[in-house]
Structure 1
Amino acid sequence: MSEERRDGLLVVRCQLGERQAFHELVRLWHDPLWRYVRGMVGSPHLADDLAQEAWVSVVRGLPRLREPERFAPWLFTIARRTVADHVRQMYRVPQTTEVETDDVAAADDGFGDVLTALEIEVGLSGLPPLEREVLILFHLEDLPLAACAEVVGVPPGTVKSRLHRARRMLRDVLVERGYEA
């Protein structure tokens, strides 16, 4: 059974009031959702909060979801809006606390050209949000190009060009920070 079909059946079961089906959706999709949000905001603690907010929105919107097999793009669209709302609110409210930045040092572990998750994270943090988002959705969350386009609300061709630009920018950021290309 395909992922889309499996998710669609779980959504219909949720819409019929079956709690276990919702628990199964959360079990399947919480980690990808959290990784996406974490990649967009940078902080694991903030990602926890925003992922929770996204799940609350899912619970509220699930009864109105008309295309249950489109659950994944719908979920990431909700997460995207949750992140955008947070960013808007951050710029609205003056910051009174100092923002901490962690300097990440590369450790030579003998793996040669293989990038660690930490190095990728450092590289992603150096990208603009639009490019970072398509890289996360396409490469880290394995969403197809059409689903990425649906989530970000642009044509697939725009996603392709953002992916191309993002890969080039990621390579440049990593080289600039001392990682081999």
Structure 2
Amino acid sequence: MTDELLVVRAQLGERAALAELVERWRVPVWTYVRLVSALSELPVLEREILVLFYLEDLSVEDCAQICRIPAGTVKSRLNRARRLLREHLEEKGSRA
């Protein structure tokens, strides 16, 4: 059964559909919550580069242009941001 159908059935009050949705989404939702929490702990410059590069799907060159920094600096910040994010997630007991 698709998630969309389960949502409709849960909205109609079917407890089994709601229970199945909770079970399906439990891990992805908590993974997302941990990731957002870890991102919020990063310094602003590193968080900005991660958001532009990964969430906005921009190239290194586009990130450099937006931030008005050299492409090499973007790469350095990406490297540092990934390291800090990995360390934070490992510290909190999550897999990086």
Secondary structure at the counterpart of residue 35 of structure 2? helix
Q: How many residues align?
A: 70
Match of 2:31 among 111, 116, 124: 116
Offset of residue 110 of structure 1: 5.2
Offset of residue 178 of structure 1: 2.0
Deviations 1:92-119 (A, max 9, x none): xxxxxxxxxxxxxxxxx456xxx73222
Specify every segment of 5 or more residues in structure 2 that has no aligned partner in the other structure, as ranges: 1-25
- Structure-2 separation of matches of 1:126 and 1:177: 12
**RMSD, aligned CA:** 1.6
Match of 1:132 among 26, 38, 47: 47
Q: Which stretches of structure 1, 4 residues or longer, exceed 3 Å deviation after superposition?
A: none
Secondary structure at the counterpart of residue 116 of structure 1? helix
Match of 2:60 among 130, 142, 145: 145
Is residue 162 from structure 1 mapped to residue 77 from structure 2 by the alignment?
yes
Q: Which amino acid aligns with 2:75?
A: K
Specify every segment of 5 or more residues in structure 1 that has no aligned partner in the other structure, as ranges: 1-108
Pairing of 1:1-181 with structure 2 (within 5 A):
109=26, 116-181=31-96
Deviations 1:87-142 (A, max 9, x none): xxxxxxxxxxxxxxxxxxxxxx456xxx7322211110110000000000000110
Percent identity (aligned): 51
Q: TM-score, normalised by structure 1?
A: 0.36
